[in-house]
Amino acid sequence: MSFSSKYYTSYSEVPYLSSEEILKGDLLWLRKSYDGEGGEIPEGDKEKLIKVYNEIIRERNENIKGLDTFSFIPELSKLLSLSSSYFLAKSTFPFFKTVQLESKYWNKFIRVYEGYDMKYHKKILTIEEREKYFTWLERQIYNLGLELLKSVNKNRFFLVKKYNEEKILSLKQTVESVLFNPNLTSLKEFDNYCIKSKDNC
């Protein structure tokens, strides 16, 4: 098996998922099959891997110019959580309005919306109470949308100045691809996304 088939050999190849360990100098994480469970690097590979590591560090330092891209992760996560809650709450609401009180799905939907911090503190036993609940819930979803728009308007990761739901959805999908496909996102791709976001502030 060739050296390049066994190891990540460049900044653009290192997966974002294992990049923090690699940047700390743990060369085992450069092995493509490594899962964090023990292991040793063959003596014949160590010198080559040290050169690979030094080149990754050199190229990354040139690219990020001192920017701490990992500090962006909490902000990205918060934005993704807020946008996911809004789009899921909004998309399921029309179907929920067709569910009757006696349906086995009624309480399941109630719990779903409670998961979006939309907890209703009144009993819902009649059709009138059901309609009042839907009016209240629609308002909560609207307010969540406003909160999202305000967050996006202040957020450095939103790369267009004029926003609408279509663009926010596009942003959400981009952030999801960065955070939830870390094996498919390289460290360089992640860094470049953060750099572009910072430059757009």
> Which tens digits make up the pLDDT trace of 6-56?
999 999 999 888 888 999 999 999 998 888 887 888 888 999 999 999 999
The contacts of residue 109 (CB under 8 Å, 6+ apart) are: 92, 96, 99
- Of 66, 96, 116, the position where a domain reaches its end is 66
164 shares a domain with 90: yes
191 contacts 12 by C-beta, under 8 angstroms: no
28 shares a domain with 77: no
Q: Please, which pLDDT band fits residue 162 given cuts at 50, 70 and 90?
A: low
- Of 42, 66, 90, the position where a domain reaches its end is 66
33 contacts 183 by C-beta, under 8 angstroms: no
- CA atoms of 47 and 31, how far apart (whole Å): 14
189 shares a domain with 120: yes
- CA atoms of 79 and 172, how far apart (whole Å): 8
187 shares a domain with 99: yes
Q: What does the pLDDT read at residue 85?
A: 87
31 shares a domain with 110: no
178 shares a domain with 94: yes
35 shares a domain with 76: no
Lowest mean pLDDT among 10-14, 29-33, 91-95, 182-186: 182-186
- CA atoms of 102 and 99, how far apart (whole Å): 8
How many Cβ atoms are within 10 Å of 29's Cβ, its own excluded?
22
- CA atoms of 79 and 76, how far apart (whole Å): 5
Q: What does the pLDDT read at residue 157?
A: 55
91 shares a domain with 61: no
User: What range defines the domain where residue 21 resides?
Assistant: 3-66
106 shares a domain with 35: no
Decide if pLDDT at 133 tops 80. Answer: yes
Q: Tokens 């308007």 sit at which residue? A: 153
Q: What does the pLDDT read at residue 107?
A: 93
The contacts of residue 140 (CB under 8 Å, 6+ apart) are: 89, 113, 118
For the chain, how many structural domains are there in total?
A: 2
Backbone angles phi, psi at 168, to 5 degrees: -65, -40
183 shares a domain with 94: yes
164 shares a domain with 78: yes
H-helix segments, the chain:
3-6, 16-23, 43-64, 73-96, 106-114, 127-154, 165-179, 187-199
Structure-token pair, residue 33: 């099959």
Decide if pLDDT at 80 tops 80. Answer: no
- Of 23, 38, 66, the position where a domain reaches its end is 66
- The torsion region of residue 103 among left (phi > 0), alpha (psi -120 to 50) and beta comes to beta
135 shares a domain with 39: no
